[in-house]
A = this chain, B = another copy of it.
Amino acid sequence: LGSGATMQIRRMLNGLPAADAAHLIDSSPPNIRAVLWQLVDSENEGDIIQYLSDEVQAQFLRQMDAEEVAAITEGLEADDVADILQQLPDRVIREVLDSMDHQDRIRVEHILTYDEYSAGGLMNTDTITVRPNITLDVVLRYLRRHEELPAMTDSLLVVNRNDQFIGALPLRKLLVSDPSVTVREIMDTDVEPIPANMSQRDVANLFERHDWVSAPVIDENQTLLGRITIDDVVDVIREESDHSLMSMAGLDEDEDTFASVRSTIPRRAIWLGINLLTAFIASGVINLFEATIEKVVALAVLMPIVASMGGVAGTQTLTVVIRGMAMGQIQRNNSRWLINREMLVGAINGLIWAGIVALAAGLWFQDPVIGGVIAAALVINLVTAGLAGAVLPLVLKSLKIDPALAGGVVLTTVTDVVGFMSFLGLATYFYA
């Protein structure tokens, strides 16, 4: 790159909103990423790094020492600093905290005591609190003493003298009310504060269902700890939604689209290895029927049809159930109905396509027996697929294994084994 072009890119990059600059860096192959990052002015680094995807963020952070990390994160919100620090080894986190100014360090340390995936890890400490017995006029004058209210402030939080949360005063209520009334008279007391140990998935479901912009977080004594804002919840919703999609292909939801060849190979290799194992199991089943295949080669031609139809039907069921579980729709009391529906749908669709496959296969190989065998095997495999697709995620979840990650592998093993077994087994019976 000529230095004129470099200057132009630098100006463009540093002129963009931080989120857009981060998106540009995220969307670049590794070599270009490194160049772009060097062109970011040091005063913009902190702003931009908080918007980078986790993997890219970690990569840039690994190249900095503790003082640099402390310098670029100065001025960021405490929860964003905590998110960034969690990418680093414990020793470095300690060093960065030691380099931070006292007040900031206390705030960040506090958030770091909570699990990254809990309400506590998601919250910010920038709440504006008021007492219930003051008038709105006092509140308005108190607010005017601030330089600026924190972003996403839609409510002031009302606390008693022990800092326990007792209600919320929405700005949109404050602004339309008579200044002489007290906070207590107009505050909302039906706001359910979020316990700090609630999982981020549950927090996201609450925000989504109740259309919140922000919500107070409390500890077990009702003491107000901070608040969670919708911008961070949106990231959780995106992550949780991506989790099912990526896991079903054996990928992490944080997977960097432009990860280097070197870091991509081992991740993909493991998944291929697991699937290789299941493929060998299926081959073992076929091998049991070598003699039959030797006699009727048409069986080798048709057997992938039975297995693949089972895999497709099972994946549909699995996907519906996994999404239903992610949305919190599936419990013990309604799962039986779901399992029955899936088996019934499998049976009926099995019968519909069995007829067509039987006709096609029978005509192709001029052999009605092979048509009958494939039809029977197809119905057996589609019912199995419906059963396995619905039951597996529930069983895996109760074993604390991620259904989205393990479900597909186990499912296709089942449908391959049952598919080959039923088709070649029936054929062995009829051609023996």
Contacts and interface: CB of A to CB of B under 8 A. Distances in A.
A210 B152 CA distance: 12
Given A244-B245, A353-B273, A300 B312 contact: no
Given A244-B245, A268-B349, A286 B305 contact: no
A68 interface: no
Interface stretch (A7-15, A41-49, A105-113, A329-337): A329-337
Copies of this chain, count: 2
A357 B276 contact: yes
Contacts of A319: 245-246, 248-249, 251
A152 B211 contact: yes
A279 B374 CA distance: 13
Contacts of A279: 304-305, 308-309
A329 B258 CA distance: 9
B242 A242 contact: no
A209 interface: yes
Given A245-B248, A300-B286, A176 B143 contact: yes
Interface in A125-180: 140, 143-144, 146-154, 171-173, 175-178
Contacts of A290: 297-298, 300-301
A264 B238 CA distance: 28
Contacts of A235: 208
Contact of A27 (B171, B233, B334): B334
A34 interface: no
B231 A211 contact: yes
A40 interface: no
Interface of A: 17, 19-20, 23, 26-29, 51, 140, 143-144, 146-154, 171-173, 175-178, 207-211, 213, 230-231, 233-235, 237-238, 241-242, 244-246, 248-251, 255, 257-258, 260-261, 264-265, 268-269, 271-273, 275-276, 279-280, 282-283, 286-287, 290, 293-294, 297-305, 307-309, 312-313, 315-316, 318-321, 323-324, 327-331, 334, 337-338, 341, 344-345, 348-349, 352-353, 356-357, 360, 382, 412, 416
Q: In the A-B complex, list the 5 residue pairs whose CB atoms are closest, starting with the nearest.
A: A241-B241, A149-B172, A300-B300, A257-B324, A249-B319
